[in-house]
Amino acid sequence: MDHSFFITKLRQRLFYSAFLNSSKEPEGHQNQRLFSFNSKRKFLFELVKPVMDFEMNISREKKSIKGIL
């Protein structure tokens, strides 16, 4: 089974939701940024890391299945 379509859609949603969340200002602190640039990068990486791990697991499973067959 090819999971690339699912993974692409999941990545798009994660990046989009992270972008929306990172651009919001906290209530009562409109002049203060919620995330600095570095914490935005860390935030995005933490969201995408499970997807990358999922992709790696799928590729390992494909290799192990090919080895068995």
Select from 1, 12, 3 the least CA-distant residue to 53.
3
Domain count, the chain: 1
Whether 6 is in a domain gets the answer: no
2-29 tens-digit pLDDT: 677 777 777 777 777 766 665 555 555 5
Whether 43 is in a domain gets the answer: yes
Q: Higher-confidence residue: 69 or 35?
A: 69
36-66 tens-digit pLDDT: 666 777 777 777 888 788 888 888 888 887 7
- Domain limits for position 43: 37-69
Q: What is the pTM of this model?
A: 0.36
Residues 6+ apart with CB under 8 A from 47: 14, 15, 17, 18
Whether 60 is in a domain gets the answer: yes
